[in-house]
Structure 1
Amino acid sequence: MSKLLVVFGATGQQGRSVIDAVLEDPELSKEYSVRAITRDPTRAAALNLQSRGVEVIKGDVDDPKSLPVALAQAHTVFIVTITVYDDHLKSREFRQTRDVADTAVAAGAQYIIYSSCVAAESLWGRPVTAFDSKAASEAYIRTLPVKSAFFLPGMFMQNYLTNQMPQPLSQEGDETTYAIASFISPDAPMPLIETVKDGGKYVGAILANPDKYAGSMFFAATAMYSYREIAEIITRVTGKKTIYTQIPLEQWVSYLPPGSGKAMTEMMRWVESPGCFGPQSKEKVDLTVQQVKTKLTTFEEFVAAHDIV
């Protein structure tokens, strides 16, 4: 009998990628059956999962009463929470993760895979609320009587299709120059991951060898890229001139949603130094890449596949 893998956030980028990785792998698809948890089973993405043979159940991390049904008979559980940059970020994510993890253990689950972040404040003394919120949840999961492993995604390539999409800066004749803007150094290396295509590949490596990776942290990214390199790649691949513009912090904050400035600033300052995954970020990424047996997506390939500018 196959093991039941329960995936939270099943219609989001990370959850969907995990499901794809299992369904598309000849061995994993035999070893695991998949249950997708979503707040709205009637939405198109959920119906698509059903059409592929996935069990879809209504569940909500903010509704503890929905969790026992969602987690009944689970063997392995993938947990991801959505970061909302407000004053309740840390308490909300901890509560959501605790409720799911406790219910999973009560249901007899044997393994939890959690989408986490580095523990910036406890390990290195610098608070980064958006990271520490997940790190606190990870620490809690590690106290439970269940095996666990941790998937730490880098910066999403998908951000360059949304909030970091290059914007028109100037026009000279027929040529438009596009710009990516932030306040950090143009040469600060950042780990980039193609979340939708590749996120599940890392989780799939854990699922394929859960005992080996119990307790492990997967620092997930294809490679490190600076803003300068990102702009150069977009220019080279698209033929449209793109530059990185380093702007004052106050100007950058003014572009953010109200109430998110402090948490976002903490995060980007941390990404600049010591690095998204803390000291030795590149070495951590390189070691994690070696654990994945399938090809990962480069930023060049991502740009070529999407309409970025």
Structure 2
Amino acid sequence: MSKLLVVFGATGQQGGSVIDTVLNDPELSKEYSVRAITRDPTRPAALGLQNRGVEVIKGDVDDPKSLSAALAQAHTVFLVTTTIYDDHLKSREFRQTKDVADTAVAAGAQYIIYSSCVAAESLWGRSVPAFDSKAASEAYIRTLPVKSAFFLPGMFMQNFLTNQSPRPLSQEGDETTYAIANFISPDARMPLIETVKDGGKYVGAILANPDKYAGNNFFAATELHSYREAAEIITRVTGKKTVYVQMSLEQWVSYLPPGYDKAMTEMMRWIESPGYFGPRTKEDVEWTVQQVKEKLTTFGEFVKAHATDLFQQ
């Protein structure tokens, strides 16, 4: 009899990637049956999962009453919470995680895989709310009578299609120069992950060897690149000249919505130093890559695959 894997965020990038990995893997698809949890089972993405043989159940991390049915008979739970940048960020994510984890344990679940982040405040002495909220939730899960492992995704390559996409900077003849802009050093290196294609590959490695990885953190990224290197790769792959522009902090903040600005500023400062996953970012990423059997996507491959979507005019 297969183990029931319950996936929260099933129609999002992380949860969807986990489901894709399990369904497409000959061994994992035999070992696990999949239940997708979504707030709206009528959405096209949820219906698409049903058409692939996935059980889809309505559930909401903000509605504790919905969690008992969502987690009934669960063996393993994959949980990701959505970061909303407001004054309740930390308390909300901790409450959501606690409710799911407590209900999972009460339902007899044997394993929890949580999408987490490093504890920036304890490492750095300054809070990065988007990281510390998940780190506090991870710490709580570790106190529970259940095995657990933790998936810590790096910076999403998908960000280069949205808020970090190259924008037109200047025009000389027929050639447009594009810019990626931020306030951090052009040489600050960031671990990059192709979330949609690769996120599930890391979680799949845990699912394939749960006892081996119990208690472990997976620092998930293919490779580290600075903004300067990312711009050079985009130029080389697409043929469109792209540069990194280091703005002043004040100018950068002026482009951000109120409330979001402070949280993002602290996150980018953290990435610059000591590093996205802390002082051992490079070593932790290298160890994690070695645990994954499937090929992971390089940033150059991502750019090639999304060349037509990369530039916002």
* TM-score normalised to structure 2 length: 0.98
Distance, in Å, in 1 between the alignment partners of 2:141 and 2:254 is 37
Match of 2:2? 2
Whether the 8 Å CA contact 2:73–2:108 is kept in 1: the answer is yes
Counterpart residue number, 1:295: 295
Q: Deviations for 1:288-308, whole angstroms, at most 9, x for unmatched residues?
A: 000000100000000000021
Q: What do the CA deviations read for 1:108-156 (whole angstroms, capped 9, x no partner)?
A: 0000000000011123322111100000000000000000000000000
Q: Tell me the residue number matched to 1:226.
A: 226
Task: Report whether the alignment pairs 1:194 with 2:194.
Answer: yes
What residue number does 1:126 align with? 126
CA distance in 2, matches of 1:247, 1:3: 51
Task: Kindly indicate whether the alpha-carbon contact (under 8 Å) linking 2:60 and 2:67 is maintained by their aligned counterparts in 1.
Answer: yes
Aligned partner of 1:264 in structure 2 is: 264
For residues 237 and 65 of structure 2, the distance between their equivalents in structure 1, rounded to whole angstroms, comes to 49
1:205 aligns with 2:179: no
Q: Which residue of 1 aligns with 2:310?
A: 308
* Deviation per residue, 1:165-223 (Å, 9 max, x gap): 11011111110010000000000010000000000000000000000000000000000
1:148 is aligned to: 148
Aligned equivalent of 1:217: 217
- Deviation string for 1:197-251 (max 9, x for gaps)? 0000000000000000000000000000000000000000000000000001111
**Which amino acid in the other structure matches residue 232 of structure 1?**
E
- Where does 1:68-87 land on structure 2 (aligned, <5 Å)? 68-87=68-87
Question: Deviation string for 1:66-98 (max 9, x for gaps)?
Answer: 000000000000000011111111000000000
User: How far apart are the structure 2 equivalents of 1:231 and 1:195?
Assistant: 20
Percent identity between the two aligned chains: 86
Within-5 A mapping of 1:35-184: 35-184=35-184
Q: Deviations over 1:227-279 (max 9, x none)?
A: 00000000000000000000011111111122111111110000000000000
Q: Distance in 2 between matches of 1:125 and 1:262?
A: 16
| Separation in 1, partners of 2:234, 2:55 | 39
Q: Which moved more, 1:119-128 or 1:46-55?
A: 119-128
Equivalent pairs counted in the alignment come to 309
Equivalent position amino acid for 1:248 in 2? S
Residue 33 of structure 1: aligned partner: 33
Contact 2:184 2:268 in 1 (8 A): yes
Distance (whole Å) between structure 2 residues aligned to residue 144 and residue 252 of structure 1: 42
1:14 is the counterpart of 2:20: no
SS of structure 2 residue aligned to 1:49: helix
> Contact between 2:149 and 2:217, CA under 8 Å: does it hold in 1?
yes
Q: Which aligned segments of 4 or more residues in structure 1 are displaced greater than 4 angstroms?
A: none
Q: Distance in 2 between matches of 1:198 and 1:61?
A: 25
Work out the CA distance in 2 between the residues paired with 1:16 and 1:187: 33
TM-score, normalised with respect to structure 1: 0.99
In the alignment, residue 308 of structure 1 is paired with which amino acid? Answer: L
The Cα shift of 1:49 comes to 0.4
| SS of alignment partner, residue 93 of structure 2 | helix
Once the two structures are superposed, what CA deviation does each residue of 1:4-59 show, in whole Å capped at 9, x if it has no partner? 00000000000000000000000000000000000010000000000000000000
Match of 2:268, as an amino acid?
Answer: M
Instruction: Specify the code of the residue in structure 1 equivalent to 2:123.
Output: L
Which ranges in structure 1 are unaligned for 5 or more consecutive residues? none
